[in-house]
Amino acid sequence: MLYALLCNDKPDHLQLRLDTRASHLDYLNSLGDRLKFAGPFLGDDAKPNGSLVVVEAPDLAAAKKIAANDPYAKAGLFASVDIRPWNWAIKNPDNK
């Protein structure tokens, strides 16, 4: 099952995001094939203000664990994280 992690940064926490970015990227890369894709949301100023991460997990509890172990989450960057089951229906490379 795929899960979309919709993460919203706390206001005025850009420096925390920048300071934690390398460990966040290392963590995402450590997920291997469980990570389907990821990237930042951008504000009107074109600066990152949240993240979209799509992961494969056996259940919601496992997806929550992945989200909780993200260095951004551990650093307190996010104001909120919404985790929702997601169906990759269009342009899914696994559905050829």
- Coil, helix or strand at residue 43: coil
pLDDT tens, per residue, the chain with 96 residues = 999 999 999 999 999 999 999 999 999 999 999 999 999 999 999 999 999 999 999 999 999 999 999 999 999 999 999 999 999 999 988 886
Kindly provide the residue ranges of all beta strands, DSSP E only, lying in the chain, ordered along the sequence: 2-9, 35-42, 48-56, 78-86
Query: Topology of domain 2-86, per CATH?
Result: Alpha-Beta Plaits (3.30.70)
Question: pTM score > 0.85 for this model?
Answer: yes
What residue spans define the domains of the chain? 2-86
